[in-house]
Amino acid sequence: MEAAYVVATLAFLFLFSLYLLGGHGSKINGEIKSKQRALPSPPAIPVLGHLHLLGKPMHAALARLAARYGPAFSLRLGSRNAVVVSSAEYARECFTEHDVCFANCPRFPSLMLISYDGTTLPTCSYGAHWRNLRRVATVQLLSAHRVGCMCPAICAEVCAMARRMYRAAAAAPGRAARVELKRRLFEVSLSALMETIARTKTSRAEADADDTDMSPEAQELKAALDEFIPLVDAGNVGDLLPVLGWFDVFGVRKKILDAVRRRDAFLQRLIDGERRRSLVDGGEDDKESMISVLLSLQKSEPEVYTDAVIMALCFSYLTTSCTMFSAGTETTATTAEWAMSLLLNHPDAMKKAQAEMDAAVGTSRLLGADDLPRLGYLQGIICETLRLYPVVPTLLPHESAADCTLGGHHVPRGTMLLVNVYAIHRDPVAWPDPAAFRPERFGEDSGAQSRLLTFGMGRRKCAGETLALRTLGLVLGTLIQCFDWDTVDGAKVGMAEGVGITLPRAVPLEAMCKPRQTMLDVLGNL
C-alpha cells in the first residue's frame, strides 16, 4: 500500500512537472514564434529539456552545440530557459546594447542559501542595493589605491612561498625538489587574501609548522571552501529541477545550511577580532584591513553597515575575483598553475621571461609590485594563459530582466545567459593560430588585451580584476625569477582539463624546482 502511494505521488509530480515545464513552456514558445524568430535549439526531452546534452566539461559540450546550432542558441535546462553565446559579436551585444537587461543574475535556491539571500555583490539583483555595494567595493575596497596598500601584505606572502620552496630544494638530492604547484599556489593566494581581509598574520606562529605559513584563520577558510564547492555543485540539479529541491532529495540543503552557519561564525570572529584591534591601535589608515575599513564606515552609518552587511561584503570580496565560490585564491592558483604548465612545455618562453626579469629587476632583490608595469613579456604570458584557460570558462550566469532581441532573435524575460568565453577566446577569426601559446601576440597587437573576456564585460564586470592581475603577476613572476623548472620525468606536461566551477587541470601539476644560481644569495637571506 505504501509503495503504491509513493508511486502515485511520484507520477503526479512527474505529470505536474510536465505541465509546468513542457506544456506551459510550449505555449510561451508558440507565442514568441508567432511574433519573432526564436533562436535555434536542439531537440528537447520532457522535464529535463536539454540537461542530457550538458556533458563535462560544460564549456566543451556547449562549444560542440555551437558548432551545430550557431554562435547563439537556446536551451531549456530543467525549468529554466537559457541562451548560450559563443562569439565576441554576440557577447558585445549582450553587454553593451542590452547591458541593463542582462545586469541580473539567476537566483538559484542553493545560491540564495550561501549568499545571504542574494544580497552579496556577485548575486544581488541590479538596483540601488547593488549600486551601493559596487560603490563600496570599487571605491573603498578594490580601488587602485587600496590594491596598492595591499601589495606589501601580498609581497610578504609571496616571499614566504619562495622561502619554503628554497628550503625544500636545499634539502633535496641535487638541490631540486619535486613540488606540487597547486598546493603551494593555493596557500600563498589564501594567506594573502586573509591578510588583506583581517590582518591574520598577527595570529601566525613563527615556525613553519607542517611546511606552511598559513595562519589558523586561512586554514579554517580553506576548510570552509573545500566544504562549500562540492555542495553547490551537487545542488545544481535541484536548482534546475525544483521538484528535487522541494524534497531535498540529496540532502544538499541541510548540508549547505550547516556550512553557512560555520562560515558566518568564522566571519563574525574576524569582525570581532578587528573591532578589538581597532580599539587598541586606533587604525593605521593605509595599513587597515578590509574589515577595518568597513568598521569605520559602520561608525558613520551603523544602520547601513551592520555586521551582517559587513559579512556579506567580505563574502562578496571572496567571490568577486572571477569565481563564484573560491575567490581570488582559486583564481590565482589555477591560472598560475596553467601558466607554469604552458611554460614547462615552452622552455624558450621561460628563458625569455627570466631574461626580461634579470634585465628589468636584477638579481639582488625579489620582484616587487612596482616592477610589474615594466615586464611586458610577463604580462603577455598572463594574458595568453587567461585566453587559453579562462578561470570561469562560461562566466557567471546572467539573466534577462525584460524581453529583448539578440541578433534579431527574441529572448524572453527570465532567460539565463551563458557566455562561452573559452570558445570565444579560441575563435580563429579573432585569434590567429588560436590553439598556440604565443605571449608575443599581446605585444604585437595593441587591441588583443581588450578582446579578453576573462573578467566579463559591462556593469557586472569583475570588480577584483586589478587585484587579481597584481597578485598573479607577483606570484608567477617570483616563480620565474627565483627558480629553474623542469618536468618530473622529462616528458611534456599533459594539458587535460578537469571538471569544476573553475577550469582546473585534470591532474595537479608536479614539477622539479631548483633555485637559480644568480638568486642564491637573495633566497638564502629570506
Which residues participate in the annotated binding site for heme? 462
H or E element in which residue 106 lies: none
Binding-site positions read 462
The position carrying cell 562566466 is: 395
Residue 49 sits at the vertex; the CA angle it makes with 48 and 54, to the nearest 5 degrees, is 85
Helix/strand/coil (H/E/C) assignment for every residue in 119-170: CCCCCCCCCHHHHHHHHHHHHHHCCHHHHHHHHHHHHHHHHHHHHHHHHHHH
Closest by CA to 38, choosing from 401, 398, 407, 399, is 407
CA 51, 53, 58, 63 torsion: positive or negative? negative
Distance, in Å, from the CA atom of 419 to the CA atom of 151, rounded to the nearest integer, reads: 32
- Burial class of residue 12 (count of CB atoms within 10 Å of its CB; 0-12, 13-18, 19+): exposed
The position carrying cell 564547492 is: 229
Parallel/antiparallel/unpaired status of strands 416-419 and 80-85? parallel
Torsional class of 104: left (φ above 0), alpha (ψ -120 to 50), beta (otherwise): beta
Residue-level length of the chain: 526
